[in-house]
Amino acid sequence: MKRLLPLIPLAICALLVALLAGYALHHDPHVNPAALVGKPLPADSLPPLTGGQPLPIGSAAAPPMVVNVFASWCAPCAEEAPQLLALKAAGVPLVGVAYKDQPSATQAFLDKYGDPFGQVLQDRSGDVGVDFGISGVPETFVVDTHGTIVAKHIGPMTDQDVRTLAGQIAALRAGANR
């Protein structure tokens, strides 16, 4: 028994490694808990990119809408720019939140890749990103007619994501007109 005693810590470590490896193999890094889904849009106010008084995020477009948190320094944000333009073309109201970015860099990004947003707000400090619970950019939120977040998408959108989001907005509009 005394010879086995030193092996107990080694066995515990091996068990922990096996558990963590199993989690890593079966964990989808694109699926994060969406803590704000089902909760109201954060009531924060941010200054518009074009200048002026801070606006509440929800006042930048009439719900239902899509809020996209992006940054000029974010390569995946540039990758998803065509999908955001497709959402705009489909009539989806979009609000952009420029995360930890300089206004001139944000404007240059929009000039280069296109501006799909009805309004761009500046979160230069990143505090509103914390209120949204973002883990990085881009992240996109679908907001219903009551100002409640009903869906969250992490990472750059694909063409399929555009169809899904446009369908969600259409369904929310149809439900509001009943």
What are the tens digits of pLDDT across the range 23-57? 444 444 444 456 689 999 898 999 999 998 998 88
Residue 21 has pLDDT above 60, yes or no: no
- The pLDDT value recorded for residue 175 is 83
For residue 92, pLDDT over 90 is answered with: yes
Average of per-residue pLDDT values in the chain = 85
The 10s digit of each residue's pLDDT in 166-177 is 999 999 999 876
DSSP code for 39:
S
pTM, 2 dp: 0.79
